Structure 1
Amino acid sequence: MTLPTTTRQHYFPQLGSFNNLVVQEVPVSAPKANEVLVKTHAVSLQYRDLLIAKDKNPGGAVENLVPCSDMAGEVIAVGEDVKEWKVGDRVCTNFHQDKLHNDSPNELVLGGPVQGVLTQYRTFPAETLVAIPSHLSYEEASTLPCAALTAYNAFLSGYEPLKAGDTVLVQGTGGTSLFALQFAVVSGATVIATSSSDEKLKIATKLGAKHVINYKKTPNWAAEVLKLTNGVGVDRVIELGGNATLAQSIASVRKGGSIDIIGVLGGLGDVPAVDIIGPCIFKQLKIRGIYVGSVVQFQNMNKLISANPEATRPIIDKVFGFDEAKAAYAHMDSQTHVGKIVIKI
Structure 2
Amino acid sequence: MTAQRIAVIPGDGIGVEVTAAARRVLDAVAARHGLAFRYDEYDWSCQRYAREGAMMPADGLDRLRDSDVILLGAVGWPGVPDHVSLWGLLIPIRRTFREYVNLRPIRVFEGVPSPVRGAEPGAVDFVVVRENVEGEYSEIGGRLNRGQPDEVAVQEAVFTRAGVSRIADYAFALARTRRAYVTSATKSNGIVHTMPFWDEVVAERAAAHPDVRWDAEHIDALAAKLVLQPGRFDVIVASNLFGDILSDLAAAVAGSIGIAPSGNIDPTRTYPSMFEPVHGSAPDIAGRGVANPLGAVWSAAMMLDHLGHPRAAADVTAAVEACLREPTTRTRDLGGSADTERVVEALLGRLR
TM over 0.5: no
Structure with more relative contact order (C-alpha pairs < 8 Å, separation 6 or more): 2
Structure with the higher fraction of residues in strand conformation: 1
Which structure shows the higher helix fraction? 2
> Structure 1-normalised TM-score?
0.29
